[in-house]
Structure 1
């Protein structure tokens, strides 16, 4: 099984697949596919503010010496 990921919007109950996946779509024409929708839920302003702060702090703490953990 192969997975592809992209973001899009749903219009009239149709999911538009980006053109870069045209080959994959043509190869499964008339076959069953599995679709999973992950829908972002808007958080409260305070939740979003905290998430943004945590992300900023996390990336500020990264230094070149931390690169040994990337492998």
Structure 2
């Protein structure tokens, strides 16, 4: 069994399939497929946003005098 992985969004109760995947499906008409849908956890999104904010806040406090601690 061949796996075709892609990221997409659910829009109007449909999952959009990218063209590069559609082109492989054209040659495999009438074959059985197995579909697994993995939904992104909202915690993952919140965690990414927190990490981005923490990183931005950290670098806002960075000054040139801190460079003495940097590796050459």
TM-score by length of 1: 0.55
State whether structure 2 residue 37 is matched by structure 1 residue 37.
Answer: yes
Greater than 6 Å deviation, 4+ residue runs:
none
What residue is the counterpart of 1:7 in the other structure? 7
Structure with the greater alpha carbon radius of gyration = 2
How many residue pairs end up in the alignment?
52
Query: How far apart, CA to CA, are the structure 1 residues paired with 2:8 and 2:18?
Result: 8
**Which consecutive residues of structure 2, in runs of 5 or more, have no partner in the other structure?**
55-72
Aligned-residue CA RMSD (Å): 2.6
Distance 1:28 1:13, change over 3 A: farther
Higher relative contact order, chain-length normalized (CA < 8 Å, sep 6+): 2
Secondary structure of residue in 2 paired with 1:5: coil
**Which consecutive residues of structure 1, in runs of 5 or more, have no partner in the other structure?**
54-71
Deviations 1:3-57 (A, max 9, x none): 0111111123221110012331112222221110010011184x4436x97xxxx
